[in-house]
Amino acid sequence: MSTPLLAVERLEKHFRTGRADLSGRKRGLLRAVDGVSFTLERGESLGLVGESGCGKSTTARTIIGLQKATAGSVRFDGVELTSLSRRGWQPYRRRMQMIFQDPYASLDPRQTVGSILTEPLTIHRVGKPRDRRLRALSLLDAVGLDPRHLFRYPHEFSGGQRQRIGIARALALEPELLLCDEPVSALDVSIQAQIVNLLKELQERFGLAYLFISHDLSIVRHLCPRVAVMYLGRIVESGPRASLYADPGHPYTQALLSAVPVPDPAREAERRRQVLGGDVPHPSAPPPGCAFHPRCPRLALEPPGAGATACRSEPPPLAERGADRRWSCHLV
C-alpha cells in the first residue's frame, strides 16, 4: 500500500480556558479535538460533519498548522507536519491549502483581486510579476469569474463571487489537498449548489483531494464518497457514503440523518424525525464514558445491565464493522 496523502493519527488539540490574567488562576482545559484519526488518499474527498462546536474547524486548523497540535500526528505524503518549523512548512503550504467559511472576512478589503491572487505566488517566488498576473487571470477563469475583474476590490463582488475568489487563491499554488471549512454555509442556498458544483468540477480537473467540513449532510452526500461524523472532539462514525447514509450505525448519526430530507418521496413520507433531547455538552466538561450518553436514544431503550453501565463509564472504541465501516458504540 502506498502512503496516503494525509494521515491524521490520534490528533488532539486542547485549549486552556478561563481568564488568562496575570495571576494565571482559574484555568480549565477544553478538549476541542480529542483523538481524531483518519486518512485521505490522493484525489479523494472526505466529508467531516457534526454539530456546531464539535471541533471540525479546530481539526482543520490544526492540520494546516494555524494552531499547534497538543498531541498526535499529521503526516502529509509521509512527512510529519506537527514538528515542522515555519521554514520547513513552506513546501507543504504549496501542496495543502484552505478555503474559509466567511467570504466577507477571508479577503483583505484593501487588496485588489489581482493582489489577492498573486500574493501566494509572490510569497513562494513563483514566476515573474508578469507571469503571476497572467496566472491570476486564468485562475479567475477557472473559478468561473470574469478575468476582466482582476483589478476590482472584494467589496465590489457578491458573497458567492467572493467565495470563488477565495477558491482561486487556494488554487494558485496548485495544491493537492484543499481543506474546506464550511465553504458554503455562509452563502445563500441558491448559491451553495453553484459553489459545490464548482468544487466538484475543480476536483476532477485538477485531481484535488478535499477535506470537506460541513454541518449539512446533503451537501456532503453530494460531494464526498466518504464521510466521518464528529461529536465532541471525536469521530464517532465513518464509512462510505452509500452504506453510511442507508444504514447509519451510531445513534448520533442516525439522529443527524433523520433530520435530512430524502429525495425519494416514498421514503420521505416514512421518514421519522428523531429529535435529540438535552443540550450539547460543552467540550470543557465532556460526560464520562461515551460522551453521547446523556442524549443517547439507544441507551434510553436499553435495560439496565453491563452494556448500559459501560456506556456511562467506558468510552467506546471506534471499532471496525466491516466493509470499511466504523463506529463507536457499546451497544452495537
Ligand X SMILES: Nc1ncnc2c1ncn2[C@@H]1O[C@H](COP(=O)(O)OP(=O)(O)OP(=O)(O)O)[C@@H](O)[C@H]1O
**Binding-residue pattern over the window 223 to 262 for ligand SF4, x denoting contact by CB under 6 A:** ---------------------------xx-----------
Q: Which residues contact 188 (CB under 8 A, 6 or more apart)?
A: 159, 160
Q: Look-up: residue for cell 472504541?
A: 317
> How far is it, in rounded angstroms, from Cα 184 to Cα 315?
33
**Partner whose binding site includes residue 169, from ligand X, Mg ion, ligand SF4, none (CB under 5 to 8 Å by kind):** none
| Total of chain residues touching ligand X, rule CB under 6 A | 13
Q: Which is nearer to Mg ion, 61 or 75 (CB)?
A: 61
**Chosen residue from 217, 228, 296, 318 binding ligand SF4 by CB under 6 A:** 296
**Binding-residue pattern over the window 3 to 42 for ligand X, x denoting contact by CB under 6 A:** ------------x--------------x-x----------
- Interface stretch with ligand SF4, choices 13-21, 118-126, 141-149, 291-299 (CB under 6 A): 291-299
Least distance (Å) between residue 213 CB and Mg ion: 7
> How far is it, in rounded angstroms, from Cα 286 to Cα 12?
15
C-alpha cell at 249: 450505525
**Chosen residue from 47, 239, 283, 286 binding ligand X by CB under 6 A:** 283
Least distance (Å) between residue 156 CB and ligand X: 28
> How far is it, in rounded angstroms, from Cα 256 to Cα 243?
15
Which SS3 state, helix, strand or coil, does residue 77 take? Answer: coil
| Total of chain residues touching Mg ion, rule CB under 5 A | 1
Is residue 57 at the binding interface for Mg ion, with CB under 5 A as the rule? yes
**Partner whose binding site includes residue 32, from ligand X, Mg ion, ligand SF4, none (CB under 5 to 8 Å by kind):** ligand X
> How far is it, in rounded angstroms, from Cα 249 to Cα 243?
10
Per 3-state DSSP, the chain is made up of helix, strand and coil in percentages (nearest 5) of: 35, 20, 40
Q: Where are the beta strands (DSSP E) in 215-330?
A: 226-231, 234-240, 319-320, 326-327
Least distance (Å) between residue 116 CB and other proteins: 9
Is residue 132 at the binding interface for ligand SF4, with CB under 6 A as the rule? no
Partners of 314 in the beta sheet?
Answer: none
Is residue 195 at the binding interface for other proteins, with CB under 8 A as the rule? no
Which residue, 166, 157, 156, is CA-closest to 202?
A: 166
The CB-nearest residue to Mg ion is 57
**Binding-residue pattern over the window 115 to 134 for Mg ion, x denoting contact by CB under 5 A:** --------------------
Least distance (Å) between residue 170 CB and ligand SF4: 36
> How far is it, in rounded angstroms, from Cα 28 to Cα 14?
10
First to last CA, the chain: 30
| Total of chain residues touching other proteins, rule CB under 8 A | 52
Is residue 46 at the binding interface for ligand X, with CB under 6 A as the rule? no
- Interface stretch with other proteins, choices 5-13, 42-50, 135-143, 253-261 (CB under 8 A): 135-143
> What does the DSSP 8-state code read for residue 295?
G
Q: Which residues contact 153 (CB under 8 A, 6 or more apart)?
A: 109, 110, 111, 112, 113
